[in-house]
A and B are shown apart, each in its own frame.
Chain A
Amino acid sequence: MERNYRKIWWRHWLAITCFSVIPLLFVSYSLYALFDRIYTEKVYETLRNSVANQRESLELYFSERISQLYTLANTNTFEELTNEVYLNKVFDLMHVRSNSYMDIGIIDDEGRHLSYVGSYYSLLKNVNYKNEPWFDAVKANGIYISEIFLGFRKVPHFIIAVMVRDKSSSWILRVTINLKNIDDIVQKAWDGKQGDAFIINKSNKLQTKPRFGGNFLESPTLNSVSNAQSHHEDFDYSGIIATKVERKTFFGQDSFFAATPISNSNWILVNKESPEELLSPLLKGKFWALFLTITGLVVIGCGAALFTNSLVNKIRETDHENATNFDMLMQANKMIALSKMAAGIAHEVNNPLASIGETAGWMKDLLAEEDLAGSKNFTEFDESVDKIEKHVIRARKIIHNLLGFARRMEPAKEKINVNNLLEETTGFLENEAKYLSIRVEKKYADDVPVIVSDLSQIQQVVLNILNNAIDAIGSNGTITVSSRYLHKSGQIEIAVADTGKGIPESELTRIFDPFYTTKEVGKGTGLGLSISYSIIEKLGGHITVESKVGEGTVFTILLPKH
């Protein structure tokens, strides 16, 4: 009979939790995935923009330098510029304005270094550039931007050279660019703690020094030594022709890379960003999503636990109620069996009793005919017969009571004088009422007709209501018992009013429910009024209640005449 409530609890809790958690996880995951996608897109966008900005800065820088060189070449004559004193003056002037140049030189058609201003004077003044690779390029294109190379000076540097054509001759203006300017632009992208930016040429050789190791003209290694061998894919953006942004692992390092070719040169700008820094808001978002999800899970778990608790309690209560109902049913069955037995016994005893009564009566009849003087024991006989009759009547009463008990199980039909019934019933409790200083007022109408109903059941109901009235008053009060005949409906009204504490309106509707009780736990079964209700309904009547807290309660029973 006893259920495993713990098991029920866990089963319900799991079911509720699962059904709540699945949507939560689904929503959380979808939101997270959406956020992740949008944010990653945003990151790519940002990288693309930033590398483009840098590229534009570099391109602008180059075009400014070139136009400056053109201006210089076209505003000064060949003779002036080959004069080193003059060139020195011009270079100083340029240097004051911007720190863009390391040195300047004029080279003639044949590669002879005609004039030079710069720190490598002794090394470079007498060289001939005729066989240098860039010499032919500038002659062919009119302009040349070199990559980093060592040249005669054996130091990594890079130059811009423009070809100037006069009426009579053509010559070359060559400058070495201050690498610091390029670095300044490139290093703007050294974001955070791990961001890196550098330039490579089309042979994948470094043109600027990366932030974390690597030197000019080496292949970039991203400062990774240990994993260099393990990864097969080589870091190489030298072949790209358009901007490329991607997340890739090189040398065991997972990073975002943005690479873009710089126009008018052989250079490729590479930006590298660490995912941890770039995606830190996303990581934060991840953390919050996880936190909120876990909070949600805890809330769901607790909510489910609370709900399950109340549910299981309800089940427990219902089980308890059912058990009580079962007990009541068993009790009722027992009573029915008992009453059947009582009825059987009473009936079987009735017949011999009737015979005894009649036989005694016959003896009395016969004795009356006898001569009084004829028998000296006449009086004794007569008295004995009387005694037999008396005890037959006594036995008849006992059987009457026994059958009365038995009949309570199903409504009987008998003629009832309602006023007598009320008088008799109040009589049972008058002593108790007197003891508690409760006055019992009786207002019986004279025109109440005799009704056909079940006397003992009505008596039981009235007794129950009277008992309740006494309990409600406690002590010192009045109970008014009245009867009335309602001519219009042909019903008999019995009313029991008390001056007790009254019943709150909220409980008034439940008062006839089984197991409802206001009495202390253990004192009342709560069955009284619900049984009363069903008895009166079964008899074709109706029972109602009116009450005001502090003033008292009136129970009204309406009974049909038949």
Chain B
Amino acid sequence: METQQKFIRVLIVDDEDDFRETIVKRLNARKLVSEGAASGVKALEILKTKDFDVIVLDVKMPEMDGIETLRHIKKLKPEIEVIMLTGHASVEFGLKGMQLGAFDYIMKPAMLNELLDTISQAYHKKCNVDY
């Protein structure tokens, strides 16, 4: 566990396969340990077996939406920081997510640097809280 802590473990939850897969590849290329989940339900399944530092969560998904997923995540593993991914029209959901305990929200289409910055901020926050 200790050794793995050097790398930030990120779970990308988004139903858009191409986007999710590319983000995962790009984050992994930047020394993050990331993984994708195609839906809220899948994310929760993965969370049962694996631990993450930060979860990037799309707001708009079929079946279980981002807000619903966030609630479950916060119930399951409250220490994980969550970053909401929203479209412009759903900024409210981003704010709502923050009220429910999300770290921040980022508007889609996000630039990778922005996402990286937010992830590292969230990670640091988590570590500080952890210590």
Given A350-B87, A365-B26, A403-B87, are A413 and B19 neighbors across the interface (CB < 8 Å)? no
Distance (Å) between the CB of B115 and the closest chain A CB? 10
Interface assignment of A412: CB less than 8 Å from any CB of chain B: yes
CA distance A139 to B95 in the complex (A): 142
Given A354-B110, A357-B109, are A343 and B89 neighbors across the interface (CB < 8 Å)? yes
CB pair A359 B22 closer than 8 Å? yes
CA distance A405 to B41 in the complex (A): 34
Interface assignment of B88: CB less than 8 Å from any CB of chain A: yes
Residues of A within 8 A of B22 (CB): 355, 358-359, 361-362
CB pair B16 A351 closer than 8 Å? yes
CB pair A347 B92 closer than 8 Å? no
Bitwise interface map of A from 338 to 363 toward B, beta carbon under 8 Å scored 1, else 0: 00000100110011111111110110
Could you say which of A6-14, A284-292, A392-400 contacts chain B?
A392-400
Bitwise interface map of B from 10 to 53 toward A, beta carbon under 8 Å scored 1, else 0: 00000010110011011001000000000000000000000000
Distance (Å) between the CB of B58 and the closest chain A CB? 9
Selected from B26, B92, B111, the residue in CB contact (under 8 A) with A413 is: B92
CB pair A357 B89 closer than 8 Å? no
Interface assignment of A497: CB less than 8 Å from any CB of chain B: no
Interface assignment of A414: CB less than 8 Å from any CB of chain B: yes
CB pair A361 B26 closer than 8 Å? yes
Bitwise interface map of A from 58 to 71 toward B, beta carbon under 8 Å scored 1, else 0: 00000000000000
* Count of inter-chain pairs, beta carbons less than 8 A: 68
CB pair B108 A406 closer than 8 Å? no
CA distance A351 to B109 in the complex (A): 7
Report the nearest A residue to B58, measured CB to CB.
Answer: A351
Interface assignment of A407: CB less than 8 Å from any CB of chain B: yes
Bitwise interface map of B from 92 to 117 toward A, beta carbon under 8 Å scored 1, else 0: 10010000000000001111100000
Selected from B18, B23, B60, B110, the residue in CB contact (under 8 A) with A347 is: B60
CA distance A61 to B22 in the complex (A): 148
CB pair B92 A350 closer than 8 Å? no
CA distance A347 to B23 in the complex (A): 19
CA distance A361 to B22 in the complex (A): 9
Residues of A within 8 A of B111 (CB): 357, 361, 393
CB pair B16 A354 closer than 8 Å? yes
CB pair A355 B89 closer than 8 Å? no
CB pair B25 A362 closer than 8 Å? yes
CB pair B109 A396 closer than 8 Å? yes
Residues of B within 8 A of A357 (CB): 109, 111
Report the nearest B residue to A404, measured CB to CB.
Answer: B88
Selected from B23, B87, B90, the residue in CB contact (under 8 A) with A358 is: B23
CB pair A413 B112 closer than 8 Å? no
CB pair A355 B19 closer than 8 Å? yes
CA distance A365 to B23 in the complex (A): 11
Selected from A350, A361, A399, A403, the residue in CB contact (under 8 A) with B112 is: A361
Given A347-B60, A350-B108, A392-B109, are A358 and B19 neighbors across the interface (CB < 8 Å)? yes
CB pair B88 A413 closer than 8 Å? no
Selected from A355, A406, A407, the residue in CB contact (under 8 A) with B18 is: A355
Residues of B within 8 A of A356 (CB): 109
Selected from B23, B25, B88, B110, the residue in CB contact (under 8 A) with A403 is: B88
CB pair B88 A355 closer than 8 Å? no
Q: Can you list 17 A-B contacts (CB < 8 A)? A: A346-B87, A346-B88, A346-B89, A347-B60, A351-B16, A354-B16, A358-B19, A358-B109, A361-B26, A361-B112, A362-B22, A399-B88, A400-B88, A404-B88, A407-B89, A407-B91, A414-B91
Where the two chains meet, the residues of B that have a C-beta atom closer than 8 Å to any C-beta of A are 16, 18-19, 22-23, 25-26, 29, 60, 87-92, 95, 108-112
Closest 4 CB pairs of A and B: A403-B88, A354-B109, A358-B22, A355-B18
Q: A353-B108, A400-B88 are in contact. List 18 more A-B contacts (CB 8 A).
A: A346-B87, A347-B87, A347-B89, A347-B90, A350-B88, A356-B109, A357-B109, A358-B18, A358-B26, A361-B111, A365-B25, A365-B26, A392-B109, A393-B111, A406-B89, A407-B88, A407-B89, A413-B95
